Amino acid sequence: MCHESSLAGSPVRLLRQYNGKSLLTSIISVLNIWLLTVTIVLFSTVQSVFGVGLLVFGTPTLLLLGCPFEETIAYLLPSSVLISLMQVIDGRRYIGELKNSILIYCVPCIVAGLALVLSNLLTIDIKLLVGMTLIFSAIARFKQGVQQALVEVLKRHTKLYLMLMGFVHGVSNMGGGLLTIFATALYDDKARMRANIAYCYLIFAISQIAVLLLFHIEAFDINCLLLAVVALVTYLTVGSFIYVKSSRAVYQQLITLFMLAYGILLISQEL
């Protein structure tokens, strides 16, 4: 459950406690459910357009609201799966060399990283790690020299990079930033880039759900499915429309600033 001190309980906790026990509790619950739904809609729109967004920004948002890591990913992963699945179906002809590499090198590291965190064998400051990952990704995207150097490194050490990306995603749910950098190095075409990112994200999420079911099956409930439906509707309506009209250049600038802002906010909470 989320921490007691967060806004009379976080949206996730209140979502579970909503039983109409009192008028005040009901009002607070509805407001917080609305906040959680808006979060899903907003970042589902981002992911619908560019392949990443729901996990990259949904994770720090729910962490900032006081949600524990396992509940955070339980509410985000089903939504991510549905959106990524739709994008993979739409762009299946563009999926290329990443297909097998992700399965071989990324998935085992995702499973290992998430299992270590959920079993408490690896104790890390999730907010600090997520914040640092966001800032690193933002700097790499903002500084052409840094990104180019990273691109050259990952081309020479692709297998190691995929393993690192998988482990980072497993322990923090934040491999999307590293995945975007990797996809940018391989593809220039917007459709090809989104299709391959979506495929990777789909495999990521399925792996995480399998591990979470083993360690914290109680984290999933009907609300996870309802929010996934909200995400799917968002993709089919708003997301698809914006994708057709979107400019890759504008997105690159906005997503970088968003990453930087969220990273600084998360790290500032730990200082």
187 in any annotated domain: yes
4 in any annotated domain: no
73 or 239, which is more confident? 73
The answer on pLDDT for 212 being more than 80 is: yes
| Count of CA atoms in the C-beta half-sphere (13 A) of 63 | 26
For residue range 47-58, list pLDDT tens digits in order. 887 777 788 888
The answer on pLDDT for 18 being more than 60 is: no
1 in any annotated domain: no
Task: Specify the residue for token string 């640092």.
Answer: 132
Residue 93: per-residue pLDDT: 87
Domain count of the chain?
Answer: 1
- pLDDT confidence bin for 252, thresholds 50/70/90: low
Residue 26: per-residue pLDDT: 58
- Least confident among 25-34, 35-44, 194-203, 234-243: 25-34
Q: How far apart are CA 179 and CA 98, in angstroms?
A: 11
143 or 95, which is more confident? 95
Residue 207: per-residue pLDDT: 94
Q: Which residues contact 75 (CB under 8 A, 6 or more apart)?
A: 12, 36, 40, 62, 67, 223, 224, 227
6 in any annotated domain: no
Residue 130: per-residue pLDDT: 73
The answer on pLDDT for 208 being more than 90 is: yes
Question: What is the percent of the chain where pLDDT is above 70?
Answer: 82
5 in any annotated domain: no
Q: Which residues contact 51 (CB under 8 A, 6 or more apart)?
A: 84, 87, 180, 183, 193, 194, 195, 197, 198, 201
89 in any annotated domain: yes
133 in any annotated domain: yes
The answer on pLDDT for 27 being more than 80 is: no
CA proximity to 53, closest of 79, 88, 85, 91: 79
Mean pLDDT of 191-210: 89
Per the structure, the complete domain to which residue 195 belongs is given by 11-270
Quote the pTM value.
0.78
134 in any annotated domain: yes
For residue range 139-186, list pLDDT tens digits in order. 877 777 777 777 777 778 888 989 988 998 898 887 877 787 777 777
Residue 5: per-residue pLDDT: 46
